[in-house]
Chain A
Amino acid sequence: MSTIDWLVLSSTLLFIVIYGIYRSRGSKNIHDYLLANQSMPWYSVGISVMATQASAITFLSAPGQAFTDGMRFVQFYFGLPLAMVVLCITFIPIYHRLKIYTAYEYLEGRFDLKTRVFTALLFLIQRGLAAGLTIYAPAIILSTLLNWDVNYTILFIGGLVVLYTVSGGTKAVSYTQMQQMTIIFIGMFLAGYMVVQMLPKEISFGNAISIAGDLGKMNVLDLSFDLNNRYNIWSGLIGGFFLALSYFGTDQSQVGRYLSGKSISQSRLGLIMNGMLKIPMQFFILLIGILVFVFYQFQTAPINFNKTELSKVKASAYSSEIIQLEKKHQKLQAINQLEIKQLAIGINENNDVKRKAAKEKVLVYQKEMADVRKEVQTIMKKNDKKANVNDTNYIFLTFVTNFLPVGLIGLLIAVVFSASMSSTAGELNSLASTSVIDMYKRLIKTDGSDSHYLLVSRLLTVAWGAYAIFVAQFASKMGSLIEAVNILGSLFYGTILGIFLVGFYFKSIRSNAVFYGAIVAELCVLFIFWLDVVAFLWLNLIGCLLVILFSYLLSFYFGKRDIEFANSVKLD
């Protein structure tokens, strides 16, 4: 990176951190620290919700995903607007009326302490690990591409986030997220604009999209119903709906964001904003990936975008095989480029015969190049079983560092940092809220003063920050466990949502029925996952429905006992 890039990067980050600390200074009580005094306007809530969800990996992975797999990933978000409507109607009024700090507080009033603690613990375990990975994922990519030390990168990102999150709590998280989202939007828009500018002169934006379409990348909508197909309209609408309902309705890292809204109306509008903007935003990010794909049709692309893994295998006994495959890949790219030009001429001249002939040839070359890349990945795995052969996350940043002008590289790196920091801040803040409100204040010290809980909240934010950095430092040694941790988190979402939905909509079902029903449902979800018979998103729906079903059935068994128990115990 050049000096100008360093200047852009450091001044952007410094401004965000100092601004966040300055604007949120002087939190005097726990209500202010954890809920920003419930003073946030709707646009702040909306931006905060979006910034917490969109981690660095969203901005690095999505363009790469479009590059390799086309636009179909956008369908993943179809259920989100519907989930926002349900949250506005049911969840927000209940949470606001109960004046709670965390979503899990509701569960004690509705069921009992064990259900609250059980759900809060699930959240702490899963989100604590996820916070570490939120820092680790961009750090490893940045360090690979820019030759930075991964441990220092992790410490830097984690340290900055802890600094302002501890100092200003929820307010600092919201204020910085506003700046971070601004940087992200400006950076991504400029990146998109630059790719179009850097295409060959004869290729307009429209031509680029037509080329991508001919190569099967504009597959935005897939109507086929297939339980094993991860991204189609049905998995997106149904699975995505339940995933979004669970994530935004029961995950404290999101609930904490919209509970900071000034009123029910402001919280609702914040979520509506998310429901309206999320799909267009993802569409735009994926479209950048499509444009980068077209750009690389006129350039020589590396055989694998993860240069560290590639040089590792080149230095191994498989060196000559890799070099031969590289040569073959380059040859294929050269003839592919000629045909792509013919395809572009066909499109420009509206000559369907020429276009069809070129398209058929290009598709053959694309298939051959994909086979060569797969062969390289197989060799990489043979050389090192732990090798990270999937280079999707490296595509966009490789393009940024190799082709974008000085200054813009620094800004795009700032985008990655901002996205990582905004998600991590929301996560640390919610981890601290849940540990203080659902654990410390409820189980350890129930009669502390407000200033005592404020101090404990700050200390726990530091502790969770340190834990996240610790997890991130060891993530590289976890190997495939990283994927397992990501999957593990989502495996619980359906069950947690089921518990909340029973609470909201099935008034006759009580604590023991839902508690044991949830445990049985979770075991079933794990078993179905182990069988590997359905695509991932469907597990959210299955988990949720099973909790409702088992709780309902168990309520006949526990019904009388639960009512007797409820009458004999007065909850505080």
Chain B
Amino acid sequence: MSGENEKPPFLKNWTNVYALVIINLLITIIVFGLITYYYQ
């Protein structure tokens, strides 16, 4: 079993991965907001 300090394969560290998930969520919400604004 590898340890919990193992680095993620794509980014330098896990903090960056988590930040990416949160930024992705924020962008999704903004896009959804724009869709709602544009089409309503």
Give residues in A with beta carbon < 8 Å to B.
Answer: 38, 74, 78, 81-82, 84-85, 88-89, 92-93, 96-97, 99, 209-210, 212-214, 216, 218-223, 233, 262-265, 268-269, 272, 275-276, 279-280
Contacts and interface: CB of A to CB of B under 8 A. Distances in A.
Closest 9 CB pairs of A and B: A213-B39, A218-B39, A263-B2, A220-B32, A93-B4, A221-B32, A221-B36, A265-B6, A85-B18
B39 A89 contact: no
Given A218-B35, A221-B36, A275-B21, A269 B29 contact: no
B39 A74 contact: no
A51 B5 CA distance: 28
Nearest to A266: B2
A137 B39 CA distance: 34
A221 B28 CA distance: 10
Given A38-B1, A264-B2, A265-B8, A218 B25 contact: no
Contacts of A209: 39
Nearest to B4: A93
B9 A221 contact: no
A221 B33 contact: yes
Interface size class of B (residues with CB under 8 A): 20 to 34
A218 B21 contact: no
Contacts of A221: 29, 32-33, 35-36
A99 B2 CA distance: 12
Given A85-B22, A263-B6, A268-B8, 15 more contacts: A78-B29, A84-B21, A85-B18, A88-B14, A88-B17, A96-B4, A220-B32, A220-B36, A222-B36, A223-B33, A263-B1, A263-B2, A264-B2, A265-B7, A269-B8
A85 B38 CA distance: 31
Contacts of B33: 220-221, 223
Contacts of A268: 8, 14, 17
Contacts of A85: 18, 21-22
Nearest to A276: B24
Contacts of A218: 35-36, 39-40
Given A81-B22, A85-B21, A269-B8, A219 B36 contact: yes
B14 A99 contact: no
Interface of B: 1-4, 6-9, 14, 17-18, 21-22, 24-25, 28-29, 32-33, 35-36, 38-40
Contacts of B6: 263-265
B9 A269 contact: yes
Contacts of A99: 1
A220 B37 CA distance: 9
A41 to B, nearest CB: 11
Nearest to A269: B8
Contacts of B28: 279-280
Contacts of B18: 85, 88-89
A212 B39 contact: yes
A269 B17 CA distance: 9
Nearest to B25: A81
A24 to B, nearest CB: 22
A223 B37 CA distance: 11
A263 B3 CA distance: 8
B32 to A, nearest CB: 4
B21 A272 contact: yes
Nearest to A219: B36
B8 A82 contact: no
30 contacts: A74-B32, A81-B22, A82-B25, A84-B21, A85-B22, A88-B14, A88-B17, A88-B18, A96-B1, A96-B4, A210-B39, A212-B39, A213-B38, A213-B39, A214-B39, A216-B40, A218-B35, A218-B36, A219-B36, A220-B32, A221-B32, A233-B29, A262-B2, A265-B2, A265-B6, A265-B7, A265-B8, A265-B9, A269-B9, A275-B21
